[in-house]
Amino acid sequence: MSKIIVLIGAPGAGKGTQARLLQERKGIPQISTGDMFREMKNSDTPLAREVQATMASGKLISDELTYQIVRERTSRDDCAGTFILDGYPRTAVQAEQLESLAQEQGKEIHAIEVDIARDELMKRLTGRRSCSVCGEIYNIYSKPPKSDNVCDFHPETQLTHRADDNEESVATRLATYDELTSPLLDYYEKSGRLKKIDGSREVEEIYQELEKMI
């Protein structure tokens, strides 16, 4: 049976990095709600502006809008088999909506917690940089680009620092994670669908373990 692999972890735990690797090496589509919302910044509509403002503050976008984009994206051909959800679900309502989506699509949900100590997160988030062309994620401390502040694959492009990776938004994002998202760990655990991975290690080490899990 095809699976919906749900990666759960605090902001900065490394979900995106791992999901991108799985997509690159195993061809499993990475569906990142954060990336999809960030792409909306290129359109100048009232909705896009609202999404941008909410994201910058570190708060969550509404469950309904989020569900709509997940539903639309995962109904495309490339998601006919197994796919990875990176950053979804993040609330109890979203988890419920995902149950019915999985049922409709005939898929099993497998959740994986990427676990990491809180003090490591700040360093990761403030050191995080990404390429606005291909989305490759770097970290000035742990995964620097080959040349200073430019993407390895798009050397003409200066890396960017996410608007919500500042201290104030990070504090809100962590509090939101604790309040609304971390209860989902219990939810998946109780239904026997949760595995856990130690996200504090090297990217490659985590990847090897993750690959075996799925």
- Active-site amino acid positions: 15, 90, 128, 162, 173
Encoded amino acid at 126, one letter: T
Among 18, 173, 199, 207, binds ligand AMP (CB under 6 A): 173
- Binds ligand AMP (CB under 6 A): choice among 9, 58, 145, 199: 58
6 is an interface residue for ligand AMP by CB under 6 A: no
The arrangement of strands across the sheet holding 194-198 comes to 30-32, 83-86, 3-8, 108-115, 194-198
66 in contact with ligand AMP (CB under 6 A): yes
Q: What is the spatial distance between Cα 29 and Cα 79, in angstroms, rounded to a whole number? A: 7
Peptide bond into 89 cis (omega under 30): yes
Binding of ligand AMP at residue 14 (CB under 6 A)?
Answer: no
* 135-140, long-range: CB < 8 A, 24+ apart: 135/20, 135/35, 136/20, 137/16, 137/17, 137/20
**Dist. CA 181–CA 9, nearest whole Å:** 8
Smallest distance, ligand AMP to C-beta of residue 52, A: 9
- How far is Cα 86 from Cα 31, in angstroms, rounded to an integer? 6
Residue 199 as a binder of ligand AMP (CB under 6 A): the answer is no
- Least Å from the CB of residue 147 to ligand AMP: 25
The answer to the question of residue 90 lying near ligand AMP (CB under 6 A) is yes
87 is a site residue for ligand AMP (CB under 6 A): yes
Give me the residues that bind ligand AMP (CB under 6 A), please: 11, 33-34, 37, 54-55, 58-61, 66, 87-88, 90, 94, 164, 173
